[in-house]
């Protein structure tokens, strides 16, 4: 399949029609037209209308001669338009370095370098390339910082490459005017590299220098990719002008002299007066030596500034590179052997055949390289996308473009993707430093054609990208009660009323309500309220007049000490002391009435025998007491009140049960029986209240 490429240069426009046949690029046709007026300066289109006309002429001539219709083309942007900025960023960092840390510092590099070039040049730019040169953690250089631990500082040194928006936009305008679609696009230094430096050599640290008419463009490769671009505003025309000035000849004569002197050694030219003069090689060298030294010095300085070291080799292309002297001087200024600096011609490219004479000079490298880019579809990343409703062109030195590349190209600050967490509250609680963190932020979400993606996902031509706004987290806020231990708050019942018991709280030494908002850096202290004494005092009870005394009794010969009070204090029905620790849901009874004890209060639960009897057909259990209680020698019941000094004895007893014992278990409503006679039967025999009963007895109770 035939492809068309076009090189829109400062002095000429070259269109080439070619195709790939058996791994050979066959040039089918080529048209070269020089600008008739200066519509371009230093690779930049200054007159879109005029450049459109000459491009149309080239396209139409190719179409006519080959009877085809050209609808799309591959082209290149001038390398001299590229600006490379080296930048260093240092950030404070503690802890493990994650991918977000690396992305943020890389994008900070792009943002900072963008600000530098915009302030310096007062133009808008695309970021088209980014290369980290080195990372440092706490001052130590490291190749891959991911998951490394950082104590103080995280640094990056990077090279960021930019292209003026006007350079690309004017190229797009010319193609639209010509009804041509940009099939793919490359950069002139990349196109030259593709055909002059074999792919397996691009892992080396090499430099390409394209010495044109007005500028010398520089591209540096390392580890398989181009890491830096540069330009110096000096090139072949300055050498030609020196020749004009010293020999008083016009520009065209000087160009003819410069191109042929090395081969012919002696050349006859006409000066501006029409007189013939002969110039030998030594005279020529003597005239240009200072200017060549100057250009070579600037080229070498720029290479060292971009590469930070000597390159392994330098490849020279372009019309201004044909002088052997400039090769020697570049090698000398870089401090590398002269054998490591050389130039290439289109004829040296193995897989390109049928090169026409108009492309066989050193200036033909770039047009042929653009054709090779078109054949093998090696253009740089170039897509048109819609970002939040606005159409954008995206260029990137990598062929595949990621969302991250788009953000870099737009100079987007990565921090704009991340909401800020809410401000935290710091405070001390009983002397211990505490932090109440703010709400989590909601980070921006990125969608491609309605599907959520991440920064590493690839973007295609025509994609619609939508980036949401991040949402900051809510600042931390709380009431004082929210930060206190929850077990300080009790719910109890006091004399039948349910109430909440709270601790005493102090803020910066001042007693405050638990419902007061917590302030940043507050010093909070609290005193728990947990004993019955504290709770009663908090509820307004006056305990000053409460007292208690010891009473001593003996129980089966053993002394027992009891507390006798002028008040009653019980929790869950049991007597407790004033220092009793209250638990949640306790029921407290406090009354200012004297307390008393019955004998049953000091008794351990005695074992009682039980018998089963049937009363009116239903079975009941009747307790059979097997002990007797004596106080000071007198038999008493367990409900008897205790007196100070009492001697209590518990004696075993075998007590036979009688019929009247059932009435504790089987109550009889004697009111209901009023006016009637009650009859009892035990085991079928008529009985009375004192009739003995035993286990298994059957009892009948009748009213007649």
CATH number at 157 reads: 3.30.1490.110
Using CA atoms, how far apart are residues 418 and 469, in angstroms rounded to an integer?
9
Per-residue pLDDT at 653: 63
Per-residue pLDDT at 542: 76
Check whether residue 554 and residue 581 sit in a common domain: yes
Per-residue pLDDT at 20: 93
The model's confidence at residue 647, banded by pLDDT at 50, 70 and 90, is very high
Per-residue pLDDT at 466: 94
Residue 257 contacts residue 248 (beta carbons within 8 Å): no
Check whether residue 546 and residue 664 sit in a common domain: no
User: Is residue 29 included in any domain, yes or no?
Assistant: no
Using CA atoms, how far apart are residues 253 and 249, in angstroms rounded to an integer?
6
Residue 473 contacts residue 422 (beta carbons within 8 Å): yes
Per-residue pLDDT at 562: 84
- Beta bridge partners of residue 553, listed in sequence order: 560
- Out of 450, 472, 494, a domain closes at 472
User: Is residue 375 included in any domain, yes or no?
Assistant: no
Check whether residue 339 and residue 193 sit in a common domain: yes
Per-residue pLDDT at 605: 59
Using CA atoms, how far apart are residues 391 and 190, in angstroms rounded to an integer?
27
Which residue from 27, 57, 67, 56 is spatially nearest to 375, judged by alpha carbons?
A: 27
- Beta bridge partners of residue 610, listed in sequence order: 623
Number of residues that this document lists for the chain: 704
Per-residue pLDDT at 587: 92
Residue 589 contacts residue 597 (beta carbons within 8 Å): no
Q: What are 588's two structure tokens?
A: 């407290």
Residues of the domain holding 454: 380-472
- For residue 204, the domain's CATH number is 3.30.420.40
Using CA atoms, how far apart are residues 673 and 690, in angstroms rounded to an integer?
20
Kind of pairing between the strands at 381-387 and 464-467: parallel
Which residue from 410, 442, 415 is spatially nearest to 91, judged by alpha carbons?
A: 415
Using CA atoms, how far apart are residues 176 and 168, in angstroms rounded to an integer?
12
- Provide the CB-side half-sphere exposure for 64 (13 A, CA): 7
Q: Is the Cα torsion angle 563, 569, 575, 580 positive or negative in sign?
A: negative
What is the DSSP track for 661-678? Answer: GGGGTS---TTTTTTS-E
Per-residue pLDDT at 625: 66
Q: Is the pLDDT of residue 593 over 90?
A: no
Which residue from 54, 7, 62, 18 is spatially nearest to 35, judged by alpha carbons?
A: 54
- Out of 456, 472, 488, a domain closes at 472
Convert 483-510 to b/e letters by CB count within 10 Å (16 or more is b). bbeeebbbebebeeeeeebbbebbbeee
The total of structural domains in the chain comes to: 5
The 10s digit of each residue's pLDDT in 380-411 is 888 889 999 988 888 877 778 888 888 877 76
The 10s digit of each residue's pLDDT in 682-702 is 998 899 888 988 888 898 988
Q: Is the pLDDT of residue 431 over 70?
A: yes
What is the rounded average pLDDT of the residues 485-497?
88
The 10s digit of each residue's pLDDT in 164-210 is 888 888 989 999 999 999 988 888 888 888 888 777 777 889 999 98
Per-residue pLDDT at 125: 83
Check whether residue 220 and residue 265 sit in a common domain: yes
What is the rounded average pLDDT of the residues 652-661?
74
Per-residue pLDDT at 29: 95
Query: HEC string of 377-402?
Result: CCCEEEEEEEECCEEEEEEECCCCEE
Using CA atoms, how far apart are residues 698 and 208, in angstroms rounded to an integer?
123
Using CA atoms, how far apart are residues 590 and 217, in angstroms rounded to an integer?
98
Check whether residue 276 and residue 330 sit in a common domain: yes
Sequence-distant contacts of 353-360: CB under 8 A, at least 24 apart: 353/24, 353/25, 353/26, 353/27, 354/26, 354/27, 354/28, 355/27, 356/27, 356/30, 358/14, 358/30, 358/32, 359/14, 359/16, 359/27, 359/30, 359/32
Q: What are 97's two structure tokens?
A: 């370095």
User: Is residue 351 included in any domain, yes or no?
Assistant: no
Check whether residue 562 and residue 702 sit in a common domain: no
What is the rounded average pLDDT of the residues 475-488?
90
- Beta bridge partners of residue 19, listed in sequence order: 2, 26
- The mean pLDDT value of the chain amounts to 86
Q: What is the DSSP letter of 43?
A: T
Check whether residue 628 and residue 683 sit in a common domain: yes
The model's confidence at residue 606, banded by pLDDT at 50, 70 and 90, is low
Which residue from 315, 325, 300, 316 is spatially nearest to 242, judged by alpha carbons?
A: 325
User: Is residue 274 included in any domain, yes or no?
Assistant: yes
- Sequence-distant (≥ 6) Cβ neighbours of residue 23 within 8 angstroms: 351
- Sequence-distant (≥ 6) Cβ neighbours of residue 64 within 8 angstroms: none
Q: Is the pLDDT of residue 58 over 90?
A: yes
What is the rounded average pLDDT of the residues 51-65?
94
The 10s digit of each residue's pLDDT in 327-361 is 999 999 999 999 999 888 888 888 899 999 988 88
User: Is residue 584 included in any domain, yes or no?
Assistant: yes
Based on DSSP, count helices (H) and strands (E) in the chain, helices before strands.
13, 48
Residue 308 zone, left/alpha/beta (φ > 0; ψ -120 to 50; rest): left
Per-residue pLDDT at 479: 93
Residue 379 contacts residue 373 (beta carbons within 8 Å): yes
Helices 281-307 & 324-334 angle (0-180, nearest 10):
40
Per-residue pLDDT at 453: 92
Per-residue pLDDT at 635: 86
Per-residue pLDDT at 224: 77
Using CA atoms, how far apart are residues 44 and 66, in angstroms rounded to an integer?
30
What is the rounded average pLDDT of the residues 286-302?
95
Q: Specify the residue for token string 């009963």.
A: 693
What share of the chain has pLDDT > 70, as a percent? 96
Residue 399 contacts residue 481 (beta carbons within 8 Å): no
Check whether residue 191 and residue 328 sit in a common domain: yes
What share of the chain has pLDDT > 90, as a percent? 33
Check whether residue 467 and residue 443 sit in a common domain: yes
Q: Is the pLDDT of residue 134 over 90?
A: no
Question: Where are the strands (E) in 542-632, listed by range?
Answer: 548-555, 558-565, 568-571, 574-575, 587-591, 609-615, 618-624, 627-631
What is the rounded average pLDDT of the residues 24-36?
90
Per-residue pLDDT at 132: 82
Residue 462 contacts residue 393 (beta carbons within 8 Å): no
Q: What are phi and psi of 53, to 5 degrees?
A: -65, -45
Which alpha helices (DSSP H) does 377-469 contain, by range?
Answer: 403-409
User: Is residue 418 included in any domain, yes or no?
Assistant: yes
Q: Is the pLDDT of residue 104 over 90?
A: no
What is the rounded average pLDDT of the residues 124-130?
79
- For residue 428, the domain's CATH number is 3.10.20.30
The model's confidence at residue 287, banded by pLDDT at 50, 70 and 90, is very high
Check whether residue 496 and residue 579 sit in a common domain: yes
Q: Is the pLDDT of residue 416 over 70?
A: yes
Q: Specify the residue for token string 């505490």.
A: 434
User: Is residue 51 included in any domain, yes or no?
Assistant: no
- Out of 555, 578, 596, a domain closes at 596
Max Cα distance, the chain (Å): 172
Check whether residue 215 and residue 329 sit in a common domain: yes
* R_g of the chain computed on alpha carbons: 52
- For residue 680, the domain's CATH number is 3.10.20
Check whether residue 198 and residue 150 sit in a common domain: no
User: Is residue 30 included in any domain, yes or no?
Assistant: no
Residue 508 contacts residue 522 (beta carbons within 8 Å): yes
Q: What are 626's two structure tokens?
A: 């097997």
């Amino acid at each position: 399949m035939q492809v068309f490429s076009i090189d829109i240069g400062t002095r000429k426009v070259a269109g080439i029609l070619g195709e790939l046949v058996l791994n050979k690029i066959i040039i089918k046709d080529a048209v070269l037209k020089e600008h008739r007026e200066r519509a371009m300066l230093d690779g930049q289109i200054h007159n879109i209308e005029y450049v459109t006309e000459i491009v149309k002429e080239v396209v139409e001539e190719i179409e006519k001669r080959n009877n085809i219709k050209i609808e799309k083309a591959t082209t290149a942007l001038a390398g001299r338009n590229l600006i490379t900025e080296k930048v260093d960023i240092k950030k404070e960092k503690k802890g493990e370095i994650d991918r977000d840390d690396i992305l943020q510092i890389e994008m900070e590099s792009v943002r900072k370098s963008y600000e530098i070039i915009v302030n310096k040049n007062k133009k808008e730019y695309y970021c088209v390339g980014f290369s980290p040169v080195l990372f440092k953690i706490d001052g130590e250089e490291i190749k891959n910082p991911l998951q490394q631990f950082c104590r103080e500082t995280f640094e990056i040194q990077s090279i960021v490459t930019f292209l003026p928006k006007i350079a690309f936009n004017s190229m797009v305008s010319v193609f639209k005017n010509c009804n041509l679609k940009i099939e793919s696009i490359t950069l002139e230094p990349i196109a030259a590299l593709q055909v002059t430096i074999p792919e397996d050599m691009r892992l080396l640290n090499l430099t390409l220098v394209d010495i044109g008419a007005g500028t010398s463009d520089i591209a540096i490769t390392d580890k398989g990719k181009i890491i830096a671009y540069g330009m110096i505003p000096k090139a072949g025309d300055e050498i030609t002008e020196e020749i004009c000035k010293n020999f008083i000849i016009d520009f065209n004569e000087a160009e003819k002299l410069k191109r042929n002197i090395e081969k012919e050694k002696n050349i006859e030219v006409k000066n501006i007066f029409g007189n013939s003069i002969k110039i030998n090689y030594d005279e020529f060298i003597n005239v240009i030596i200072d200017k060549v030294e100057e250009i070579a010095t600037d080229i070498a300085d720029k290479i060292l500034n971009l590469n930070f070291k000597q390159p392994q080799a330098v490849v020279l292309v372009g019309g201004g590179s044909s002088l052997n002297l400039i090769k020697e001087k570049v090698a000398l200024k870089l401090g590398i052997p002269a054998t490591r600096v050389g130039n290439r011609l289109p004829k040296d490219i193995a897989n390109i055949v049928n090169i026409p004479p108009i492309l066989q000079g050193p200036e033909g490298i770039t047009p042929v390289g653009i054709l090779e880019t078109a054949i093998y579809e090696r253009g740089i990343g170039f897509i048109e996308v819609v970002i939040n409703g606005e159409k954008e062109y995206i260029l990137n030195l990598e062929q595949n473009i990621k969302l991250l590349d788009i953000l870099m190209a737009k100079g987007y600050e990565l921090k704009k993707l991340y909401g800020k967490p809410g401000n935290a509250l710091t405070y001390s609680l009983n002397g211990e430093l505490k932090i109440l963190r703010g709400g989590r932020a909601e980070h921006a979400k990125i969608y491609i054609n309605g599907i959520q993606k991440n920064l590493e996902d690839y973007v295609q031509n025509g994609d619609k990208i939508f980036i949401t706004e991040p949402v900051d987290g809510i600042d931390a806020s709380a009431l004082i009660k929210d930060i206190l231990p929850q077990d300080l708050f009790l719910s109890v019942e006091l004399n039948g009323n349910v109430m909440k018991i709270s601790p005493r709280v102090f803020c910066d030494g001042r007693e405050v309500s638990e419902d007061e908002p917590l302030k940043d850096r507050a010093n909070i202290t609290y005193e728990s309220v947990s004993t019955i004494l504290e709770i009663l005092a908090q509820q307004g009870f006056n305990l000053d007049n409460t007292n208690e005394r010891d009473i001593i009794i003996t129980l089966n010969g053993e002394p027992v000490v009891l507390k006798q009070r002028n008040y009653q204090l019980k929790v869950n029905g049991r007597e407790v002391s004033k220092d009793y620790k209250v638990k949640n849901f306790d029921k407290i009874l406090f009354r200012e009435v004297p307390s008393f004890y019955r004998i049953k209060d000091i008794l351990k639960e005695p074992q009682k025998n039980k018998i089963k009897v049937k009363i009116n057909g239903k079975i009941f259990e009747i307790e059979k007491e097997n002990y007797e209680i004596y106080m000071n020698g007198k038999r008493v019941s367990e409900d008897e009140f205790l007196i100070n000094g009492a001697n209590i004895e518990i004696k075993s007893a075998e007590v036979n049960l009688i019929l009247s014992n059932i009435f504790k278990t089987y109550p009889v409503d004697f009111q209901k029986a009023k006016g009637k006679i009650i009859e009892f039967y035990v085991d079928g025999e008529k009985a009375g209240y004192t009739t003995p009963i035993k286990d298994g007895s059957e009892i009948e109770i009748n009213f007649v």
